[in-house]
Structure 1
Amino acid sequence: MSTPSRRAVAVTVVAVAAVVAAVALPLFQPWRLFTDTVVDEALPGADPISMTTSSAAPPTISGDRSGTPSSGATEAPGKTQSRGPERLSTGRFITHEHDTQGTASIVRLADGSRILRLEGLDTSDGPDLEVWLSDAPVLEGKAGWHVFDDGRYRSLGQLKGNRGNQNYPIPASVELADFTSVSIWCNRFNVSFGAAKLLQV
């Protein structure tokens, strides 16, 4: 029986490597370890933090063109001023498979709807990342990597970006009391990049 030539062996190795690369690269997407997607969304209904103007005079905010402040109430009798966003619970992210920082908060808006608000998020980019509400405990280290699909969970959709401030609407049908944590969850490998325990404010 003849021994395969070095050329034949080399061709076989190259062919196998090409097949492995064709399968592994789309699956693992290793280049995403070096990419960032930054999203910076404002908190709905929140007042601006600051105002700038090129005029020496302060900007006029009310509808009074005289420039003098109004001493009376601006709302009709019997109406109450709408409330701004209210944080119901909040927590700080801890690292799981990938270094993760930032905070997660459940916020009730003035119209009664709820959002999950991520602020200062900084984690790795990755394939098939979602934002999950879960009833799983937030555990340090590898013990906490895979627990978030063991019990009750609710996906709020694909992660918009691995860095920044982001809002995720919470459906009205979701009972907030059922969920005590948030995870940046990688569906492809069933692992948490990072998670936060939600504590009532």
Structure 2
Amino acid sequence: MARFGKLLSRPVVISGAVVLTLLVGFGLYWFQPWKLVVDETVNESLPSAAPTAEPSPGTGTDQDSGDQDASATPAPPAEPRTLVSGELISHEHTTTGSVRVVETADGNRILRLENLDTSNGPDLHVWITDAPVIEGRGGWHVFDDGEYVNLGKLKGNKGSQNYELPDTVDLEQLTSVSIWCKRFAVSFGAAELKQA
């Protein structure tokens, strides 16, 4: 009888260990707790247009051949123009930094996070949305209620980084930005975008 009890208990122990291992593995995958202590810093420079050739003073183009004078010097690239901007506020996690949308000389629009400092976390994305930016817990979950455009995964939880804005984004309709955790449907931080 005792031998039968030992045989019965061995499969129970093994199956219990397997279930526990699966639960721990799933918990580590889902919550990724190491991200609470590991920062990812990304510092990208603000994109600018390529320099354009500009004739040196006192020179010009050859009227007969149409060739430009060899002494032409490149003009400095045009600075990007800020269209809208805002300051990040904290939601689920303490978040600081600023957001602005700039237009480069070649017409591209870039959403730029500057001096971002937030917590790292699983499945963080940058969203531009039509939701209002509300302080406190009331603002944590509003960004997936209406229209939003996912600009991609957050490149790093610290630093300055650029995200291309699709041509379809209307800055009069989409007036806020959220650092959005897709896994838990919560905003880490957000900014209202206002005309520059």
TM-score past 0.5 threshold: yes
* Matching residue within 103, 116, 120 for 1:121: 116
Secondary structure of the structure 2 residue equivalent to 1:178 = coil
- Change in Cα spacing, 1:105 to 1:75, as seen in structure 2 (3 Å) is farther
Alignment TM-score, normalising by the size of structure 2: 0.78
The answer to whether residue 45 in structure 2 is matched with residue 42 in structure 1 is yes
Secondary structure of the structure 1 residue equivalent to 2:27 = helix
Q: C-alpha displacement at 1:170, in angstroms?
A: 0.4
Structure 2 residues without counterparts, runs of 5 or longer: 62-74
**1:72-87 matched pairs, under 5 angstroms:** 72=57, 83-87=78-82
Q: C-alpha displacement at 1:10, in angstroms?
A: 7.0
Secondary structure of the structure 2 residue equivalent to 1:176 = coil
- 1:91, 1:37 → 2: CA distance? 23
Give the paired residue count.
174
2:69 counterpart residue number: none
Q: Contact between 2:43 and 2:161, CA under 8 Å: does it hold in 1?
A: yes
The answer to whether residue 94 in structure 2 is matched with residue 89 in structure 1 is no
Q: C-alpha displacement at 1:89, in angstroms?
A: 0.9
- 1:172, 1:105 → 2: CA distance? 16
**1:1-201 matched pairs, under 5 angstroms:** 14-45=17-48, 72=57, 83-201=78-196
- 2:132, 2:59 → 1: CA distance? 47
Q: Contact between 1:75 and 1:81, CA under 8 Å: does it hold in 2?
A: no
Alignment TM-score, normalising by the size of structure 1: 0.76
Q: Computing the radius of gyration over CA atoms, which structure comes out larger, 1 or 2?
A: 2
- 1:152, 1:173 → 2: CA distance? 12
Quote the RMSD (CA, aligned, Å). Answer: 3.1
Secondary structure of the structure 2 residue equivalent to 1:31 = helix
Identical columns (%): 52
